[in-house]
Structure 1
């Protein structure tokens, strides 16, 4: 299923916190899906989402701003699939019938998830599937979403992109790098969405430095207190 006809019951989005998850959620809502939950698997040791590197507290803040119930599952090293299955169990117990993903064109990734989603008894929904990555990232920006780059693959993406907000200038720089997928589908970079039309409020961010791990450079972000000072791109 690619999202043409929503199920009669409720749906959940499998969520990384970035632009692709956000745009998939946006489209699913427009297609009539009744979204109630978001599911995120994070590393138990670091408390962060793999590859994006954002802490679980940032995912919880997004869920609150989106009006969705967060289902956060901790994964031990090498046990992502088991954590995902536990999340599926919790969603099934909550009455969820369909799972929304933000896959675009990596067939092996989609097939891996689809096999497990269907085995767990859910409908598998891919609102972005087959879309042109350059058009999708422009759609994300034109709809009014605000996202920042939170990790880059060293040797592939520009470390100077860290912390920058998606917009015309950054999109042009990414487009100029022909070896890089405009949506970072091959892991070149990852993002975090902090505001947009389906958010009830912005997620206030405070940069806390940078770190390197496993070939990536990460922007370490925390929740900023908007009553004291401005964070990263706070909503006016």
Structure 2
């Protein structure tokens, strides 16, 4: 079977890709929906210029699907983009969000292709431990009480996981960010031929939201 990995470059989708490759699956494409709307319900918008570089590191063909990022309409954009590919299945990094998983599953059903979601219902702490052990992942967006300069731009390692667990105990955030509390960017993983490098990094904190803007990746 020929597969496409749906990813924003974040930890969950790249870990799902890694698990697919670990299982010997034939992954050909790295697909990213590129929304104009930074508040898309389904898709991340920060630092997506990293994904073509990630695809190159993984030896995959990058496919960018433009979208206005409007609720539900963006799903049609994804469906049309996937329909144009010669694939038999899609890999996703959903953990607990039924909103996301069910909508991608419905698209797969309509297109007659399979869905592979290896992280679905995985224990969030175990997931973060695996990310810390196997990958270089940085938090690049924060959008929850208790998250700001204390985690923004930091690598997910054992120390940061402890910080997230303590904040979760007080604020009841999802430690893996499944509720949109934070977004991440993967700079290295076992499936990368070499780490992704970057330059031109600035940090913005405003109205309870933080973002690391990165100008260039290679």
| TM-score, length basis structure 1 | 0.82
Structure 2 unmatched ranges of 5 or more: none
For 1:197 and 1:208, the matched residues in 2 are separated by 25
Alpha-carbon offset, residue 175 of structure 1: 1.0
* C-alpha contact (below 8 Å) 1:211/1:219 kept by paired residues: yes
For 1:69 and 1:51, the matched residues in 2 are separated by 20
Describe the superposition over 1:136-184 as per-residue Cα deviations: whole angstroms up to 9, x where unpaired. Answer: 11011112x1010010004352343111111111111001122121210
In the alignment, what sits opposite 1:219? Answer: 212
Does 1:34 pair with 2:34? no
Does 1:54 pair with 2:47? yes
Alpha-carbon offset, residue 107 of structure 1: 2.3
Among residues 143, 150, 153, which one is paired with 1:160 in the alignment?
150
In the alignment, what sits opposite 1:184? Answer: 177
Alpha-carbon offset, residue 212 of structure 1: 5.5
* C-alpha contact (below 8 Å) 2:53/2:217 kept by paired residues: no
Residues 50 and 159 (structure 1), Cα distance of their counterparts in 2 relative to 1, 3 Å cut: farther
For 2:84 and 2:146, the matched residues in 1 are separated by 37
In the alignment, what sits opposite 2:136? Answer: 146
Corresponding residue pairs, total: 211
Residues 82 and 211 (structure 1), Cα distance of their counterparts in 2 relative to 1, 3 Å cut: farther
Alpha-carbon offset, residue 111 of structure 1: 1.2
For 1:90 and 1:99, the matched residues in 2 are separated by 13
Cα RMSD, aligned residues only = 2.2
* C-alpha contact (below 8 Å) 2:201/2:215 kept by paired residues: yes
Residues 87 and 224 (structure 1), Cα distance of their counterparts in 2 relative to 1, 3 Å cut: closer
In the alignment, what sits opposite 1:208? Answer: 201
For 2:208 and 2:175, the matched residues in 1 are separated by 20
Among residues 108, 116, 121, which one is paired with 1:130 in the alignment?
121
